[in-house]
Amino acid sequence: MEPIDYLVALEPWAALSPGDRARLAGALERRDFAADDGLFEAGEMPPGVFVLTSGQVRVTDGSGAVLSEIGPGAAVGGRRLLRDAPNPLSARAIEGGSALVVPAGLFRELARDYAPVRDFFRIDAPARTRPRSLVTTRVAELMTPGPLAVPPATTVRAAAQAMRKAGVSSVLVGEDGALAGILTVRDVSSRVTAEGRDPACPVREVMTADPVALPPGALGSDVLHLMMERGISHVPIVDGGRIVGVVSKTDLTRVQAESSGEVIGDAAAAGDVAELARVTARIPDLLAQLVGAGNRHEVVTRCVTDVADAVTRRLLALAEAKLGPPPVPYLWAACGSQGRQEQTGVSDQDNVLILSDDVSEADDAYFADLARIVSDGLHACGYVYCPGDMMATNPRWRRPATDWRRYFLDWIARPGPEARMLASVMFDLRPVGGARDLFEGLAGETLEAAARNSIFAAHMTGQALTHQPPLGFWRGLATRRSGAHRDTIDMKMSGVVPIIDLARIYAIRGGLPPVNSRARIEAARQAGTVSGKGGRDLLDAYDVIAEARLEHQAAQIREGHAPDNFMAPGRLSPFERSHLRDAFLVVRTMQSAAGQRRGVL
């Protein structure tokens, strides 16, 4: 693929005319970089817009705070070039790769001539990542502001040329800022070309006069319903009688395209890792959209995990296409948050390979290559390598089914510190791709053995109680006292993890098959492993904590930052802080009950 072909497949470069594409093709520079290389530093003007084709780059502000980490398909540098002001940001590689550089001078010309380029890199670009649903999003967030407009006397030819140059499909017709009509590309085709009109005629003769318009405060769903009712594809936006914007079907599609179904479909159809990385780059917007639409936390995390599953299965298919059919059946299983179907906007990878007992030593070379291809692909897609090396690339976690049975039964029979830690991870295993029958017997046998062994359950309970909710001496919220995340709460390790650990204990004690934490607590209530009241209280506490964590991440995404788990309680209202504290008190109470090893908690 030629560099220009890669570029124009991405927004906003697809809007360029053939002539400007050719001009850009001749000016593009390829820049290779190694890990820790700087693309540009704070105080410097970027030499151009860097569009990554491979590798990972971290963008930081003047204080060194990480603003984002970007991968293939993403661009950096354009916003600062448009402002033509000293650059407060640094861009430094965290993984070697390459980028296409659009020279600064040419970029400014393209931004001047093409609204899509200019808008893509506009100063308030973070607003473009706000969580959006058509039933909750105002038209002001959807519309293209400052739309192309011409006087009624403009010729159709001139209007069509202006649309082509701007890369848009409609032009508003106005007099002194007031809306008089609209002309679309379809109008030019059906009312001018098809009817043999002279393109030198004025647009007033072929435009749709006095088109229906909406105010900026209308909802996206109002636009959609209007388009469907009238059979139109563009709606002008008017405020106080003045033209302020236009919304097209493309704008609505952009909002709706971030549904998990669309993202999963694109992942399943991706032809290579770079394409998959462009798909997973949309996950933050997906998460923010789902949270903003009011979905419950278990719905959001399930949708985000479904994307990871689809990416994993596509990488397995790409690996098999490269390596050939596997010599024996295998199962790729996920553990950790992916195994529990609880992924958020921050996830590393935890995975294992369970192989058929027919595997030979010679076959391991195939599965080692398969594991490497998939794990590297996941890393490129934002699911970074597991710091603890809990990955199928590690020979210890790439074993025949018989060895896995032995692993689990040994951990249960001899629950030392390492066994307790590993069991905490491995009891969250879930099949993702391959021969699922390799797991079915293993899961049932392991749960049965664990439920029978009260000593193992007691050890696992002790392991679970190592993570405490963030409560101070006077039962107030206790924040971190030092470090980069001072005055924040770790909503993962101090927030949801204590509940995840409790849910796993309930599953082990009751021999309960669910892997998802909320489903485990529900099953424990039904089985009597936890009391009805205790289970209800813990579910309510889980909902409060998990949703606060997701709201925090969604807010970071809306502000243009990479999501994390460190939430500042000071940003919450007193009401929200009170509910969060009460939720943590419930968790502490349930931990105390678990520590006393009561028969019914």
**pLDDT (tens digit per residue) in 442-499:** 888 888 898 888 889 888 888 888 889 999 866 678 898 888 889 999 999 999 999 9
Q: What is the structure's pLDDT at 126?
A: 32
CA 368 to chain CA centroid, nearest Å:
28
What pLDDT digit, counting tens, does each position of 309-351 carry? 989 999 999 999 999 999 999 999 999 999 999 999 888 899 9
Q: What is the structure's pLDDT at 334?
A: 95
Residue 444: both structure tokens together: 């049932």
Q: What is the structure's pLDDT at 266?
A: 80
pLDDT at 356 over 90: yes
What pLDDT digit, counting tens, does each position of 513-532 carry? 999 999 999 999 999 999 99
Residue whose C-alpha is closest to residue 128's, from 141, 118, 115, 138: 141
CA 47 to chain CA centroid, nearest Å:
29
What is the mean predicted confidence (pLDDT) over 89-117? 85
Provide the H-helix boundaries in 436-573.
Answer: 437-452, 454-464, 497-510, 517-527, 532-558
Q: What is the structure's pLDDT at 145?
A: 80
Chain position carrying tokens 């006292």: 481
Q: What is the structure's pLDDT at 146?
A: 82
The dihedral region occupied by 531, where left means phi > 0, alpha psi between -120 and 50, and beta the remainder, is beta
Distance separating alpha carbons of residues 465 and 549, to the nearest angstrom = 21
Higher pLDDT, residue 91 or 65: 91
Proportion of the chain above pLDDT 90, given as a percent: 45
pLDDT at 386 over 50: yes
CB within 8 Å of 175: residues ≥ 6 apart? 151, 152
Compute the mean pLDDT over every residue in the chain, rounded to the nearest whole number: 86
What is the mean predicted confidence (pLDDT) over 124-128? 32
Reported as a pLDDT band with limits 50, 70 and 90, residue 135 is: low
pLDDT at 129 over 60: no
DSSP string, 171-191: EEEEETTEEEEEEEHHHIIII
Of 289-293, 367-371, 401-405, 416-420, least confident by mean pLDDT is 289-293
pLDDT at 574 over 90: no
Question: Of the ranges 58-67, 343-352, 373-382, which is most confident?
Answer: 373-382
